[in-house]
Amino acid sequence: MTAAIRIAPTRAARALNLLRTVQYAHPPSCPCHSNPSHQHHHPSLLPSTLKHARRLATPVDVSQQKEYAFEMAASSIRFGPGCTKEVGMDFRNMGAKKVMVVTDKTVRKLDAMKQVVEGLEREGIPFEVFDGVRVEPKDTSVREAIDVAKPYQPDAFLAVGGGSVIDTAKLMNLYTCFPDADFLDFVNAPLGKGNPITKPLKPLIAVPTTAGTGSETTGTAIFDLVSKRAKTGIAHRNLKPTLGICDPLNTRTMPSAVHASSGLDVLCHSLESWTAIPYHERVPRPNNPINRPAYQGANPISDIFSLQSLRSTVQYLPRAVKDPDDHEAQSQMLLAATLAGVGFGNAGVHLCHGMSYPISGQNPGYKHAGYEVDSPIIPHGVSVAVTAPAVFRFTGASNPERHLAAAECFGVDVSQVKRESAGEVLSEALAEFLVKLGDQPRGLKYLGFTKDHVDALVEGTIPQKRVLMLAPSLESTDVEAEREQLRSLFEEALEY
């Protein structure tokens, strides 16, 4: 056995045992109970006929029926240094005749785009490049992009860039396939109508140039809805790319500060999906599988991805940030970002992400070190991680075993830790990790927020129903109580 194997004798064992024990502590509710005409017999779930009879007599409130199934979907993933150049052959293989290449003005100059263009030209695939994607897209910029795609009528899309680029390409694909749809039709409720995407879209290949969003594997696209002054998005399995091409050569161009903040996004994707409410606690049960959300709560398959990406991130992110030549760590972070994408793409995120949107949107003027931009910016990864110590202290009581397992991933010996301290212990481990990573704001205060901003931050979080519904420990039925909890979370997050 190698030295590496002796370092962490108990952490993963406990975590993996959790995969097998925690998830099934509460068996999924039985679908038959809600459907008296169902003929299936399974005696172990029907302890008494009395119980059944009582249910038959009481009208069922379908809005309170819990979920009984989960669905796992992910883009195909190709991973390898140099595999970007294969993309021309991929489009030839699918018979594409008009490819819309989506990128931004920074990525357009990078080697990833050079490889892509050479690959397409080598195979004689006609294409057009749209490089107008803006970082942290707004519905207005997305609509402009859609207006470019519609007249071109592409039969396939290729996104080359970070999460903003990939998300914009997904939306260009969606609204080109549904040209008559109103923009709000598919936008997450309650801001939009939240309609499901009822047919497959055109093929989309995503080539990430950051190791963060995991957008190359998910059916999620995030943007600012300017009219509502809120960050929201569209989430449906049919939005996911056909293939994610994860080429570690493409993330070498990231500056250290971008390695850090995109890696913190991975960290929170892992932690939030691992600690989200289990899928069988989510209400309501969908009346049609097409309405089963992608963000469905933790489940036994997403758990595997979330835990593995958490462990990889703790191990490799500090190396990737500190040494621009540590290509092994960078490669591992790209893989971790993709694994986390599969995890949260099928389980969801919760408080860190829900609270991050108003944090970024209501930025009092903070400009993150290492970002060469003209205007203030709180990078997405920074805005999710800044509340993480407060969030996981708060959620600890909901599932102490999972919070302790997460703390072990950070190297904490939890063998003597009481269950009641699980949240506190994970919170401290997280804070220590963030401090050691360097250049991270130690709370909202360091971004320029004060107690006076808290009410506005709370009001900006309340509409994030899609992620808040997966938050453990959060009041889901009483909005005033929820508001109070969020207020105290933001206050706690002012400094760690």
Contact 360, 87 (CB under 8 A): no
Closer by beta carbon to a second copy, 415 or else 477: 415
Q: Please select the residue that binds a second copy; options are 52, 65, 66, 86, rule is CB under 8 A.
A: 86
Residues in the chain: 496
Per-residue contact string for residues 10-29; x = within reach of a second copy by CB under 8 A: xxxxxxxxxxxx--x--xx-
Minimum distance from residue 44 beta carbon to a second copy (Å): 6
d(Cα 459, Cα 315) in Å, to the nearest integer?
A: 36
Which tokens in the block code for residue 488?
């105290």
Rule CB under 8 A: say whether 414 interacts with a second copy: yes
**CA pair distance 396, 7, nearest whole angstrom:** 26
Cβ atoms 156, 203 nearer than 8 A: yes
Residue closer to a second copy, measured from CB, 14 or 465: 14
We find the least distance from the C-beta atom of residue 38 to a second copy, in angstroms, to be 8
77 binds a second copy (CB under 8 A): yes
Does the N-terminal peptide bond of residue 190 adopt cis geometry, omega within 30 degrees of 0?
Answer: yes
Q: Which residues pair with 100 in a beta bridge?
A: 128, 157
**Cβ 427 to a second copy, closest distance in Å?**
18
90 is a site residue for a second copy (CB under 8 A): yes
Size of the site for a second copy (CB under 8 A): 85
Kindly identify the residues of this chain, within the stretch 209-238, that bind a second copy according to CB under 8 A. 237
Binding positions for a second copy, 269-298, rule CB under 8 A: 288-290
CB of 158 to a second copy, least distance (A): 14
Cα–Cα separations (whole angstroms), residue 159 to 116, 154, 254, 345: 10, 13, 17, 18
- Tell the smallest beta-carbon distance from residue 117 to a second copy (Å): 12
Q: Which residues, at least 6 apart from 302, have a Cβ–Cβ distance to it below 8 Å?
A: 70, 72, 273, 342, 343, 344, 346, 347
Q: CA–CA separation, 111 vs 475, rounded Å?
A: 48
Instruction: Candidates 335, 390, 429, 474: give the one binding a second copy (CB under 8 A).
Output: 335
Smallest separation, CB 361 to a second copy (Å): 34
| Binding string, residues 148-187; x marks residues near a second copy by CB under 8 A | ----------------------------------------
Judged on CB neighbours under 10 Å (0-12, 13-18, 19+), 326 is middle
Of residues 370 through 389, those in contact with a second copy by CB under 8 A are none
325 binds a second copy (CB under 8 A): yes
The answer to whether residue 116 forms part of the interface with a second copy (CB under 8 A) is: no
- Whether omega for the bond prior to residue 284 falls within 30 degrees of 0, making it cis, is yes
Under the criterion CB under 8 A, does residue 63 sit at the interface with a second copy? no
Whether the upstream peptide bond of residue 463 has omega within 30° of 0, thus cis, is: no
Q: Single out the residue of 32, 116, 191, 390 in contact with a second copy (rule: CB under 8 A).
A: 32
User: Angle at the Cα of 292 (from 172 to 42), degrees rounded to 5?
Assistant: 160
